[in-house]
Chains A and B, each alone.
Chain A
């Protein structure tokens, strides 16, 4: 990497005028696209939210319904993300460190939530836990509410986000190999020591990265949650659902105010992700370079 960087630019071929023009055109096109399709809408969200002044915006945000939607969203994320981390670590450990029958099936299954439409995911839960579903009558008899209640929202979110951590970890752990872990076992480390002292420190960046992706998805999930939530205002609406409800009621300022919260959350997670990418990818490249050199 350093070597490549240290080549003086004068040694590289000078681009011709036509090449330079082409390059400028490409960059311009990319920037225009970004501005038109990404930056402008984000700006529009905030403009619309603040269009009637800061006070109205503030009032729209601190509305009882919006606050309870925000609380529910945070609760769902607080349950779904740790579950996701547990599942992700367990699945990627099993897949990269052991051979077992059904391994390729497991790898394929992890991808199902990514390939299936979230609406379908929601409907599957309705089919299983709903009033007329397989477990419906039994749940009813025991006075357990899953569909149109918080547990259903959590389940749907867990389903939709479950590949994120595993998807990040599996290729990373495959590339890293298990030599260090075998060395630790030979040195007498038990499972606990092995995980906390060797495995976790090695995968921490990839794990954090996957966690952030899972968090931002669980905050923003709409389709699956929409099916199972029942849209009970103040009780089973998450922030994305709240935005939709306000919008359908032509309460644009309030809708955009709530949307701006989601957008902010997305920007913050992207920022954290960007900050984490720095050290993580840097490490990776160095070790690869080391390997190449030795």
Chain B
């Protein structure tokens, strides 16, 4: 079932939680709503669920106007951050709840309910825990029960509100992969709210990035990572070096993409792995001199901290093991550095300083 969000606004007192958000989620898609806290992502999810009503705008489920429908009527499954399992019921009863409370005419027989619950518990690999109580389970197991419970009523839409954020890193990663597998198996339209960019980029088919109640960018994880539409998105997704500067040359001579209208104040973003390093000044591009401050040599990528004259913050660079070994760097070495690519935006702050050769690098 597809979900259409049209110009949804929501205000809490003087706080603008959603300032007119529109997006469409295709049937069977896994969409992540990503943003920092206070960006409105959870509010949007709750409005889609029918747990909150928007001040303005509408929600269409499968093309049908549903803004005024109750949560129960929308046929959704909701998974809460803190599981919200019924603590006085066994795992079996928790999963069976949605089936047991259906009106008599729709309610499956006892036998059918039991079969369906067992099937779901097998799906979440908790069939041996059926007679236990939620407090006897670990956080990861509880969240799997919560998912099975949400799936029991065969929802057309599955909504997850920061489902893994209360779990430790390793369990979080496991559950993330597992959610993706379940989604591939069931193909139920899923919306996942998260503040963890890695989680969003890894699990979702498409990611919608929200900031201060507005949609910043929407797209596949790759397109968002490769072409961030705004400084905010650039900053939010992964490590980035930020250069303030003034464009000296006009853009065409840079030959690089960017949103800068004209020469003037600009900020440039370069991801650490986009920085090239060499012991000698390259012949065809301009490079700046830097010195190696620190080396983090754990993991497949080597991370370097460089200091460049005129830039206060250390600059981060990343390179593969082979290249690192070829360069044979030690802290204190002098080196030349230049970006493979740089994305430029108009600098909103007038106090741009540092690196006048910003456009040059």
Contacts and interface: CB of A to CB of B under 8 A. Distances in A.
Interface of A: 179-180, 182-190, 193, 197-198, 201-202, 286-287, 290, 294
A193 B101 contact: yes
Contact of A183 (B84, B100, B135): B84
Contacts of B101: 184, 187-190, 193, 197
Contacts of B324: none
Interface of B: 49, 51, 70-72, 76-78, 80, 82, 84-89, 97-98, 100-102, 135, 139, 149-150, 152-153, 166
Contact of A201 (B49, B72, B84, B88): B88
A153 to B, nearest CB: 38
A294 to B, nearest CB: 5
Contacts of B135: 286-287, 290
Given A189-B97, A287-B135, A184 B86 contact: yes
A182 B51 contact: yes
Contacts of B98: 187-188
Nearest to B106: A188
Contact of A180 (B49, B76, B77, B86): B86
A180 B93 CA distance: 14
Contact of A179 (B72, B82, B102, B149): B82
Contacts of A290: 135
Contacts of A187: 72, 97-98, 101, 149-150, 152-153
A184 B76 CA distance: 12
B49 A186 contact: yes
A197 to B, nearest CB: 7
Given A182-B84, A202-B88, A286-B135, 9 more contacts: A180-B84, A182-B78, A186-B72, A186-B78, A187-B149, A187-B150, A189-B72, A197-B97, A287-B87
Given A180-B85, A189-B101, A294 B80 contact: no
A188 B72 contact: yes
Contact of A184 (B87, B97, B152): B97
A190 to B, nearest CB: 7
The 6 closest A-B pairs by CB, nearest first: A179-B84, A187-B98, A183-B84, A189-B101, A193-B101, A201-B88
A261 B226 CA distance: 83
Contacts of A190: 72, 101
A188 B102 contact: yes
A220 B27 CA distance: 65
B231 to A, nearest CB: 36
Contacts of A287: 87, 135
A182 B159 CA distance: 14
A183 B80 CA distance: 8
B71 A185 contact: yes
Contacts of A182: 51, 78, 80, 84
Contacts of B150: 186-187
A115 B101 CA distance: 43
Identify which of A193, A197, A287 gathers the most chain B CB atoms within 10 Å of its CB.
A197
A139 to B, nearest CB: 45
A197 B149 CA distance: 15
Contact of B51 (A186, A197, A198, A294): A186
A61 B86 CA distance: 49
Contacts of B80: 179, 182-183
B215 to A, nearest CB: 25
A180 B97 CA distance: 12
A131 B102 CA distance: 55
A188 B102 CA distance: 7
A286 B133 CA distance: 13
Contacts of B77: 186
Nearest to A294: B139
Nearest to A202: B88
A115 to B, nearest CB: 33
Nearest to B51: A182
B248 to A, nearest CB: 55
A188 B76 CA distance: 9
Contacts of A183: 78, 80, 84-86, 149
A186 to B, nearest CB: 5
Contacts of A185: 70-72
A198 B86 CA distance: 7
Nearest to A182: B51
B136 to A, nearest CB: 10
16 contacts: A179-B80, A182-B78, A183-B78, A183-B80, A186-B49, A186-B51, A186-B71, A186-B77, A187-B97, A188-B98, A188-B102, A189-B97, A197-B86, A197-B97, A201-B89, A290-B135
A179 B139 CA distance: 16
Contacts of B49: 186
A99 to B, nearest CB: 11
Nearest to B140: A294
Nearest to B146: A183
B84 to A, nearest CB: 4
A188 to B, nearest CB: 4
A190 B70 CA distance: 11
A30 B180 CA distance: 63
B209 to A, nearest CB: 26
A261 B75 CA distance: 58
A294 B138 CA distance: 8
A197 B153 CA distance: 17
